[in-house]
Chains A and B, each alone.
Chain A
Amino acid sequence: MNTPNEATQTASPSLAVFLRQNMREYGILIALVVIMVFFQVITHGVLFRPVNLTNLVLQNSFVVIMALGMLLVIVAGHIDLSVGSIVAIIGAVAAVMMVNYKIDPWTTSLVCLILGGAIGAAQGYWVAYHHIPAFIVTLAGMLIFRGLTLWLLGGMNIGPFPIEFQRLSTGFVPDFTWFFGSFSFSIPWLQINSFFIALNDQAVGPFDIQSTFIEWTIVNTSTLLLTLCVILGMVYSNYRSRQINLRHGIEVEPGIFFVIQNLITSIVILFVGLQLSTYKGIPNILVVMGVLVVFYVFITTRTTIGRRIYALGGNEKATRLSGINTERLSFYTFINMGVLAGFAGLIVAARLNSSTPKAGNGFELDVIAACFIGGASTTGGVGKITGAVVGAFIMGVLNNGMSIMGLGIDFQQMVKGAVLLAAVVFDLYNKQKG
């Protein structure tokens, strides 16, 4: 007879084995870090400047938010090509309501979210209950809602919006510790002047590493405090779940790896927090995004709904024969996608401060790519929220970094396409080896 102890023997594999087994998950994180460092160097350090960091968050929030919904759709074994058009139509409706009819932003936002859900339901209905491939239904939706947007806006831009509405995208969390005022400190820093810079500066060596001091001027103390809270919370919850897993003989990462991993994540968060606190603080949208990510991680890992979506994508027939209403479940994933796409539509409109017929053009590709880069399976049943978020940031940093470099949209698209293909090829290669 088996005892729980038997399982405990396999609890902590050696570092090498562990890395090999989890190549995919860490591979994508490493890829993100490499891409970030690359652009940091090549853009002369512009990437991580507080202003740009804030921009990076603002520019990518809607991709991340839609990737949350898209991941569920993809895990359930479907796809949604219409999200870009939903972004446009919702933006248009919001504009018409607020600008033409002077309806207040709160009511408008609520109506728009419901409308997004309704659009998702309209498409999900055909996919879930009539078993029409999602590719076809949402391709139709993509055309229909783009057309509707053009019709509604009459081919024109509508704006500007009330200031409260704009704050959704451009506002920052108020500094509740304003009475601290600002303070400064310096920490040692290594400055790496790379080959690329060397060319411009006509320096001799390809690498020129200097130790300098950089000065941080914290103007937003509450941001710093919040950052510290997030770090403490994260480390504590990681530690706790590791202890629980260990107690129950679930395989966990090697101890040293756990420490390194938490250390690196903490440093990254601290760095971002420090940078943001030298500028305007934490953008509202970052908080919303953070809450949504945590919420969807919880949904996918801890609730029966999440569990059922994975089962549905893994084997629909077996799931249905286990007494689970798979049709309703598919239907729900599309409603959820619609609401999130609607929310993204509001964010985009608020950010641009006007609704344009072209809004959200091509977003569906960034969002879908984020999920697949993040390790979702094209056949359903596999994928993680955290993977999709990292995938979205990879796409975001690529967009942002290349824009800073002044590369055109042509080149940007080629690079993004190549990255998507590389990620999926890497996935398949990994699977075959395993």
Chain B
Amino acid sequence: MSTNVILEMRNITKTFPGVMALRDVSFSVEEGEIHALCGENGAGKSTLMKVLSGVYPHGTYDGEIYYNGELKKFGSIKDTEEEGIIIIHQELALIPMLSIAENIFLGNEVAKGGVINWAEATRRTTELLAKVGLKENPSTLITNIGVGKQQLVEIAKALSKKVKLLILDEPTASLNESDSNALLDLLLEFKKQGLTSIIISHKLNEISRVADKITVLRDGATVETLDCHAETISEARIIRGMVGRELSDRFPKRVPKIGETIFEVRNWTAYHPIHSDRKISNGINLNVKRGEVVGIAGLMGAGRTEFAMSVFGHSYGQKISGEVLINGKPADVSNVERAIKSGLAYVTEDRKQLGLVLINNVMHNTTLANHKGISKNFVIDEHTERKAANEYRQKLRIRTPSIYQDVVNLSGGNQQKVVLAKWLFANPDVLILDEPTRGIDVGAKYEIYTIVNDLVAAGKAVIFISSEMPELLGTCDRIYVMNEGAIVAEMPVAEASQENIMGAIMRSGEKV
């Protein structure tokens, strides 16, 4: 491995109206290494990568970029791609209704005079797919393959462009454990072949596994660059750099005070909204008690979100049958309005699509699910609304210049808190939290756990859906394990472990 510096970014400063996103950031990457970029949400990681990849063209920022020793002034993404700098964004940029081959060569078609040579394109796609270890037909539509495979298609697409420096923004955020591992192995494999990568991730265990160097950003400035080969870097060490303090415990302590059963689902069965013969929930029985946090573990695609949404106002699926009891009495959850009235709230895993009206401000989003609480005869009492929004902003420590800020301008963690604020203001008895900490930083995660603790301390019940098992083990009192739309195990947290949960999933898979 050579030690040439392939990329050097010097004194990068980038400002948005009212915000300095990057302040004098310097960053250098050596050829053939995997360089991790860490930092809390809003620390400037993505902005820095957008500067590098030409999303923010030369002239919109201050500072210099040297690539292979030359000063570069990238005017667009096209410029950087020509140099072999490819970025794969957090939100995948694939077109669902086009095939794998069409996506890989989109904008870069194997064509002569505008006429596409499909045979050649298919052949090359097959080659590329083999390189990333994906066994799919090149003509399969993107919409028909899972997120993990889509991520691999993105990488294959990058390879097709003769990538020299690959930038991955949160590549494993929506992947399950085995897909994540496969992806990381792939990166290590590419490293052997001399590819340089920059990886942004919140998952510190992954970073420690693959990274050669770690650069930590905080509040738009470089804090430090750690060399993983010179010393062993612990997760606690990285966290200290990110938040500026040691997080002694990643999960706040709580003494459970569990009361009577408040929420119960009996024999819940639902079918897929389009494929009406496919069961998405299969005879699910589940209960939660006052003051209890109950986890639902499972792999991606186990049907947890589908189950939660079908319970919450029949928002997903069809031919739904089963019973919901709240405080022992049958509750009507046949639409969202009634589900809310029954005391239910569902905090979605997809905050941008399903949780927030991004172009509306913090105040409007906070009160959206409880207009009754701020109005009389349809007329909004502005004073009450302002008070409510400010109260939750303080309670949840939503970092925003004011409650009049549009939520699109907030960082992921703060957006998540706004979604939570909305549901807390609706004052439910039972909250279903679906991946509430996905894609947010360690500090914000800790705050969310604290909020969960406060909720159950106030006698509410929480159902916690998460793909991160340590998180479930750290926050829940009891864990259900779900696989293929059915509950396959239930265990108190004292008896639960990652091995137990995985074991339950594997065993249930074998039975089929």
Contacts and interface: CB of A to CB of B under 8 A. Distances in A.
A251 B390 contact: no
A10 B402 contact: yes
Contact of A319 (B17, B339, B357, B380): B357
Interface in B335-381: 335-337, 339-340, 346, 348, 353-360, 364, 368-369, 371, 375, 378-380
Contact of A323 (B340, B382, B393): B340
A304 B357 contact: no
Contact of B357 (A10, A305, A311): A311
B354 A317 contact: yes
A1 interface: yes
B360 A322 contact: no
Contacts of B17: 434
A315 B404 contact: no
Contacts of A305: 378
Contacts of A320: 315, 336
B357 A307 contact: no
B379 A303 contact: yes
Nearest to A433: B17
- B354, B360, B390, B403, most chain A CB atoms within 10 A: B360
B401 interface: yes
Nearest to A326: B336
A323 B386 contact: no
Interface string B200-235: 000000000000000000000000000000000000
B357 A250 contact: no
B313 interface: yes
A2 B393 CA distance: 8
B402 A315 contact: no
A382 B379 CA distance: 20
A315 B364 contact: no
Nearest to B393: A2
A139 interface: no
B178 interface: no
Interface string A309-340: 01100110111111111000000000000000
B404 A323 contact: no
A4 interface: yes
A381 interface: yes
Contacts of B368: 307, 311, 318-319, 322, 324
B199 to A, nearest CB: 31
B337 A314 contact: no
B496 to A, nearest CB: 30
A262 B200 CA distance: 52
B404 A250 contact: yes
Contacts of A303: 375, 378-380
A322 B380 contact: no
Contact of B354 (A7, A318, A434): A318
B14 interface: no
A221 B288 CA distance: 73
A323 B378 contact: no
B380 A315 contact: no
A244 B379 CA distance: 17
A302 interface: yes
A74 to B, nearest CB: 14
Contacts of B382: 244, 302
Given A304-B371, A321-B315, A323-B337, A314 B378 contact: no
A2 B414 CA distance: 14
Nearest to A9: B401
A381 B378 contact: no
B319 to A, nearest CB: 20
Interface in A359-407: 381-382
B404 A325 contact: no
B237 interface: no
A171 interface: no
Contacts of B393: 2
A308 interface: yes
B353 A317 contact: yes
Contact of B364 (A2, A250, A311, A382): A311
Given A2-B393, A322-B336, A382 B359 contact: yes
A322 B364 CA distance: 12
Contacts of A105: none
Given A304-B371, A381-B359, A321 B364 contact: no
Contact of B359 (A250, A314, A434): A314
Contacts of B337: 323-325
- B353, B357, B378, B404, most chain A CB atoms within 10 A: B357
A249 interface: yes
A323 B394 contact: no
B397 A249 contact: no
A315 B353 contact: yes
Interface in A219-267: 244, 248-251
A154 B359 CA distance: 49
Interface string B323-337: 000000000000111
Given A311-B368, A323-B313, A323-B337, A2 B394 contact: yes
Contact of B422 (A249, A308, A315, A322): A322
Nearest to B348: A321
Contacts of B390: 4
A7 B340 contact: no
Contact of A302 (B336, B340, B380, B397): B380
A107 B286 CA distance: 60
Nearest to B357: A314
A323 B339 CA distance: 8
B336 A318 contact: no
Contacts of A10: 401-402
Interface in A1-54: 1-2, 4, 6-7, 10
B397 A307 contact: no
B360 A314 contact: yes
Contact of B336 (A244, A321, A382): A321
B355 A302 contact: no
A315 B356 contact: yes
Given A305-B378, A307-B364, A1 B404 contact: no
Contacts of A7: 401-404
A302 B379 CA distance: 6
A250 B335 CA distance: 36
A315 B313 CA distance: 18
- A1, A251, A305, A322, most chain B CB atoms within 10 A: A322
A318 B380 contact: no
A319 B335 CA distance: 13
Nearest to A314: B357
Given A304-B371, A319-B368, A248 B358 contact: no
Nearest to A382: B359
A250 B404 CA distance: 8
A1 B397 CA distance: 7
Given A7-B402, A10-B401, A10-B402, A381 B357 contact: yes
A322 to B, nearest CB: 4
A4 B17 CA distance: 22
Contacts of B339: 323
Interface in B461-492: none
Contacts of B426: 323
Interface string A293-311: 0000000001111011011
Q: Which 10 A-B pairs have the closest CB atoms?
A: A314-B357, A322-B369, A7-B402, A304-B371, A323-B340, A315-B357, A323-B336, A323-B337, A322-B368, A303-B378
14 contacts: A2-B393, A10-B401, A249-B402, A302-B380, A303-B375, A304-B378, A311-B368, A318-B355, A318-B368, A323-B339, A323-B426, A324-B368, A325-B337, A381-B360
Given A2-B397, A251-B404, A315-B353, 5 more contacts: A304-B378, A320-B336, A324-B337, A324-B368, A382-B359
Interface of B: 17, 312-313, 315, 335-337, 339-340, 346, 348, 353-360, 364, 368-369, 371, 375, 378-380, 382, 386, 390, 393-394, 397, 401-404, 422, 426
Interface of A: 1-2, 4, 6-7, 10, 244, 248-251, 302-305, 307-308, 310-311, 314-315, 317-325, 381-382, 434
